[in-house]
Amino acid sequence: MEKIELKPALVFEQFAKINQIPRQSKHEEKMIAYLKEFGESRGLETLVDETGNVLIRKSATPGYENKPCIVLQSHMDMVCENVPERKIDFLNDPIETYVDGEWLKANGTTLGADDGIGCAIELALLDANDIEHGPIECLFTVDEETGLTGAEGLQSGFMTGKWLINLDSEDEGQIFVSCAGGRNTNATFRYEKEEAAAGSFFVEISLKGLFGGHSGDDINKKRANAIKVLARFLYEENEKFGVQLCSFNSGKAHNAIPRDGKVVVAIPMAQKEQIRVDWNVYTAKVEDEYHVTEKDMEFFLQSTDAQAVLPKSVSDNIIRALQAVDNGVFAMCQDEELAWLVETSSNVASVCTTDTECKVVASQRSCVMSNLDNMCATVKALFQLAGAEVVQGEGYPAWKMNPNSKLTELVVDTYKELFKKDPLVLGIHAGLECGLFSERYPDMDMVSFGPTLRHVHTPEEKLLIPTVQMVWDHILAILKK
């Protein structure tokens, strides 16, 4: 297959440079330094706020001085996921990319196009000297992926533009004008481990190769959640003959569907053959249930060395809570024109055990804030009943559609003129920083769009190369108008 050319070259040159810079969420120091040097070396006004957000201003080209200032915005951090076989230090190592047909992919890791490609488009605009535009402000926010703390910390007056284009969407030809709000639930079970009963048999149960995905955008695609798959088996076996947890570890990011996991349990010696039989029967059922979406999942069960166990009462509570907790779509939108859109959902994102505690993180989302409150209360109550200490963050607000948006009208009309077809104007179940911007800048007119990405937040993440040129051309046309 002939290798496709990476166009526009200026954008992909910037993206290649960005992927040499480690920028895991909450560790964006090197990216902040790069952006600061980029702006200052070109004589552009460059600001860094207390949170770490970077704003670079570029003056209008001759004849466009009276045009309104447009803000282009992306987040500089990325979700760091890798397949087990790919050893990488995300705090120091670059992302290795390659071209596969029309797609740009990474070697065994997330690609970082969410939202590195948005940053690259902004940097290309700042670097270009042949584009007609009014005043531009390019905003690069920190820590979008693990709490939107960059957008939350953005102060009024940092931006001066009244129109904002967020470049953090994943389907070319779709213009987003609203998003869901979200909040995390953190449940902690505390205990002191103890010796297992005499004659116990120890089993390690694990799975890998699940598809995973974005816990908002992909929550309705019937993908298996590793935590729920493991918890379901543990619950069944616990009801039959009793199991006792030694450890349960699965999931990494609060906004990703967990792809793999491992559990160690102690069981009665007399059940060591029965649990193998039950596992084989159970995994066959799971494979049948997910035969369309999970073609590569693998299951493992093996004996392991003796180790300390959680107290039986705590072990039972954790297993029962993980079996019972809501996971997936809770409600679809009631409005007829948005009936296809998920309204409310929850994702059990991670479980991590140590010698003294088990921490569970679940994330709830909704475009109706009262229903978000209800979903959060439901998850919280469940873990409280199980004896956990529960803390919920403040989360982030939904972004409500502006029915009188002049920017949406301009973006849609320009798209029609360029590509001779209508774009889709939509809401999204994922969280976008626009919701937080709307609190600090209530008069800001905003839209979100971007090139086509697939499988974000997983090592299968990929970028459809031709759509980058389309988004670039669209932005240039908007700026010229």
Q: Catalytic residues, which ones?
A: 77, 144
Yes or no: say if 315 and 309 are a contact pair by the CB < 8 Å rule.
yes
User: How deeply is 336 buried, as exposed, middle or buried, from its count of CB atoms within 10 A (0-12, 13-18, 19+)?
Assistant: exposed
Q: Which two tokens stand for residue 315?
A: 């072990």
What is the C-alpha to C-alpha distance for residues 262 and 260, in angstroms, rounded to an integer? Answer: 7
State how far the alpha carbon of 269 is from the alpha carbons of 174, 201, 266, 303, in Å: 57, 5, 9, 11
- Which pair of structure tokens corresponds to residue 341? 């859109």
Q: What share of the chain is helix, strand, coil (3-state, %, to 5)?
A: 30, 30, 40
How many C-beta atoms lie closer than 10 Å to residue 401's C-beta? 17
**CA pair distance 459, 53, nearest whole angstrom:** 27
Which of 4, 10, 117 shows the shortest CA–CA distance to 453?
Answer: 117
CB crowding 161-186: b at 16 or more within 10 Å, else e: bbbbbbbbbbbbbbbbbbbbbbbbbb
Measured between alpha carbons, how far is residue 339 from residues 182, 198, 221, 425 in Å?
20, 56, 15, 14
Q: Residues 367, 407: contact at Cβ < 8 Å? A: no
